[in-house]
Amino acid sequence: MKRAGGLWLDAARRLAGKRAAMASFCLLVALGLLTVIGPALSHFPPDELDWSMMGAPPDLDSGHWLGTDRLGRDLFVRTLHGARMSLGIALLATAVSLLIGVTWGAVAGYAGGRVDAALMRFVDVLYALPNIFFVIILTVVFDRSPMLLFVAIGAVGWLTMARVVRGQALVLMRRDFIEAAIASGAGPSRVIFRHVVPNLLGTVIVYATLMIPQMILIESFLSFLGIGIQEPLSSLGNLIADGAMEMEAAPWMLLVPATCLVIIVFCFNFLGDGLRDALDPQDG
Amino acid sequence: MTGYVIKRLLGAVPTLFAIVLLSFLLMRLAPGGPFDEEQALAPEIKSNLERAYGLDQPLHVQFGRYLGGLLRGDFGPSFKFKDFSVTELIATGLPVSLELGALAMLLAVTLGLPLGMLAALRHNAPADHLVMALAVLGIAVPVFVIAPLAALLFGIYLQWLPVGGWAPGEAADMVLPTVTLALPIIAYVARLTRGSLLETLRSPFVRAARARGVPATRVVWRHALPAALTPVISYLGPATAAVLTGSLVVETIFGLPGLGRYLVQGALNRDYTLVMGMVIVYAALMVVLNLIVDVAYAWLDPRVRHGGNK
């Protein structure tokens, strides 16, 4: 028998053995760091127009390493800012989803019976609604700020999490250690947050990792259509939309942000798959 | 079976009602109104406008009127396309979107299924790896990246296909929008088919059929494939949702006069009634298509319609 805590150590070791997942993880960390420190490496601010350098191709000598956009703004800096915005919104939206979804699911699983039925019926009804269209309504009604976007995306993204957590919580509630905790006088919130939720962490981490790319795609989708992040702020979505307009004359304007987006989405998916295998070894 | 269909139909009514109510409330509780322009309107003009659109009534009266209008097929006037009612815009956009969506779904199934089968039957062979690599690519690269790239490659560099427009009877116009919209679905269907067929081929009843000396082709087509198709069919519900959201992007990029483009334009113009109408139509489409998928699923799998354990 292994000592307590061995599960996480085992999982980390199994994950380290997966090359695709580890490479993705390293790439994501590197990219994350780059979005923070990268803009400082270039001496161009993200919103400075340069009328003499409009739509300049990638060029190492001019300092515009990845070219400029149609207003002469440096594409390297703008793409990093865009990636930071997209990642930031996705992480915050995932956090919002986690907070609502885990609490909702754990309470439903803990309470069982009628409370469970009512809570999950509510989730079922929301599930049948086309979420993305409600996010669009929200962007019509409220100011299109990054704040609104992550709250709106996060508020519609928690349903799957609630279902997953509730299913696991139901199973956990039948275990002896929960019964022991209840017998020794632990109240509902203590049982839920000290005993149920910590035992769900593995599943929650896997789903959260797989949820982040979904959130990035939703945010970029809205920004691409022009109803997400607004100029002069950049996100990968509105950079791709800009690039698509100029793609005939300046294909790099499309290719640079599109490549960045695809890499991020790929990496999160690989990492999520790797984590699932690492945390859930019995499932192939 | 009829009982199941009726039960599902009745179940769709509260969902549709919730959609209408929720979008109505969101629109009405919003800060600001549809007449907040850059230049403030004179108060008399504003109150006249509000009276003309019925916005001076209490909320529940407005909702009752809107709902009554919907039941008669009247979605109200568009605030920004002033010469058109939302119903007229829906009438012009719906056929285009339906045609695009139907073609994309058809293409996704007719290409995705054989590709998935090929991959499963040539497990771990080059064909399998190729199909799976394409599938991963199709799933991870979103429509709004594929569409401009496809337009760039086939429309501008190679000049094979037109990159925009939608003239009736012009088959060439439909190729790029349909294919880009279908690609992610093809990828998903192929991956699902492969996984499920591989699993089925290993299951005891297939091994038993082989042991009885049933010919290999017959084992695949008559024994394994029907059983392997259930997860694929249950994916068709989410697939229609993906096609509907993807159509927003595809219609915008290729300039098709469909519902999606009106929705995007309405959202950009903050055209409340137009967005509400389009969202309701999209939601209704989604509910109806999901219903059809569920009924098809129940027809194929008796366990579902008898409410047995899943």
Q: What is the pLDDT of residues B100-116, one digit of tens each?
A: 899 999 999 999 999 99
d(CA A239, CA A110): 45
State the pLDDT confidence band at B310, using cuts at 50, 70 and 90.
very low
**In chain B, which residues have their Cβ closer than 8 Å to the Cβ of A225?**
248-249, 252, 264, 267-268
Measured in angstroms, the CA of B14 and the nearest CA of chain A are apart by: 9
d(CA B64, CA A96): 34
pLDDT for position B219: 87
CB contact under 8 Å between B279 and A129, yes or no, is no
| DSSP designation for B29 | S
Lowest-confidence pick of A275-279, B33-37, B148-152, B202-206: B33-37
For chains A and B, count residue pairs whose Cβ atoms are closer than 8 Å: 107
pLDDT for position B307: 57
Say if CB A240 and CB B253 are below 8 A apart: no
pLDDT for position A1: 45
pLDDT for position B38: 60
Interval A220-239: pLDDT, tens: 888 888 888 887 788 888 88
**In chain B, which residues have their Cβ closer than 8 Å to the Cβ of A149?**
none
Contacts of B110 (CB under 8 A, 6+ apart): none
Interval A245-273: pLDDT, tens: 887 778 888 888 888 999 998 898 888 88
The Cβ-side half-sphere exposure at B278, using a 13 Å CA radius, reads 32
Rounded to two decimals, what is the model's pTM?
0.82
d(CA A140, CA B36): 13
pLDDT of B41 > 60? The answer is: yes
Lowest-confidence pick of A133-147, A153-167, A190-204, B221-235: A133-147
Q: What is the mean pLDDT of chain B?
A: 82
Tell me the residue ranges of DSSP E strands in chain B: none
Does the CB of B276 have a partner CB in chain A at under 8 Å? yes
Of all residues in chain A, the percent with pLDDT exceeding 90 is 4
CB contact under 8 Å between B144 and A132, yes or no, is no
Assigned CATH topology for domain A75-279: MetI-like fold (1.10.3720)
ipTM: 0.78
Instruction: Look at B172 and B282; give whichever has higher pLDDT.
Output: B282
Sign of CA dihedral B133, B137, B139, B143: negative
Q: Determine the residue of chain A that is closest to B287 in CA distance.
A: A128
**In chain A, which residues have their Cβ closer than 8 Å to the Cβ of B23?**
134, 137
Of all residues in chain B, the percent with pLDDT exceeding 90 is 8
Chain A interface mutation, best of B144, B149, B269, highest count of A Cβ atoms under 10 Å: B144
| DSSP designation for A53 | G
Nearest to B145 among A141, A226, A261 (CB): A261
From the list A130, A24, A80, the residue with the least C-alpha distance to B288 is A130
pLDDT of B308 > 50? The answer is: no
**In chain A, which residues have their Cβ closer than 8 Å to the Cβ of B149?**
254, 258
* Residue boundaries of the structural domains of chain B: 86-309
pLDDT of B309 > 60? The answer is: no
Assigned CATH topology for domain B86-309: MetI-like fold (1.10.3720)
Judge residue A34's burial from the number of C-beta atoms within 10 Å of its C-beta, 0-12 exposed, 13-18 middle, 19 or more buried: middle
Instruction: Look at A215 and A68; give whichever has higher pLDDT.
Output: A215
d(CA B260, CA B267): 10
pLDDT for position A104: 92
pLDDT for position A78: 85
Nearest to B279 among A137, A240, A266 (CB): A137
**In chain B, which residues have their Cβ closer than 8 Å to the Cβ of A244?**
144, 147-148, 151, 253
d(CA A148, CA A136): 11
pLDDT for position B115: 92
Contacts of A189 (CB under 8 A, 6+ apart): none
pLDDT for position A55: 67
Say if CB B247 and CB B100 are below 8 A apart: yes
Structure tokens at B59: 């909320």
Structure tokens at A240: 């791709």
**In chain A, which residues have their Cβ closer than 8 Å to the Cβ of B19?**
129-130
Interval A74-121: pLDDT, tens: 778 888 888 888 899 899 999 989 999 999 998 998 888 888 888 888
Q: Determine the residue of chain B that is closest to A139 in CA distance.
A: B267
Chain A interface mutation, best of B22, B145, B156, highest count of A Cβ atoms under 10 Å: B145
**In chain A, which residues have their Cβ closer than 8 Å to the Cβ of B268?**
225-227
Instruction: Look at B212 and A68; give whichever has higher pLDDT.
Output: B212
Judge residue A77's burial from the number of C-beta atoms within 10 Å of its C-beta, 0-12 exposed, 13-18 middle, 19 or more buried: buried
Residue position matching structure tokens 């790029």: B176
Report the range out of A44-48, B35-39, B301-305 with the highest average pLDDT.
Answer: A44-48
Q: Determine the residue of chain A that is closest to B266 in CA distance.
A: A140
Does the N-terminal peptide bond of residue A232 adopt cis geometry, omega within 30 degrees of 0? yes
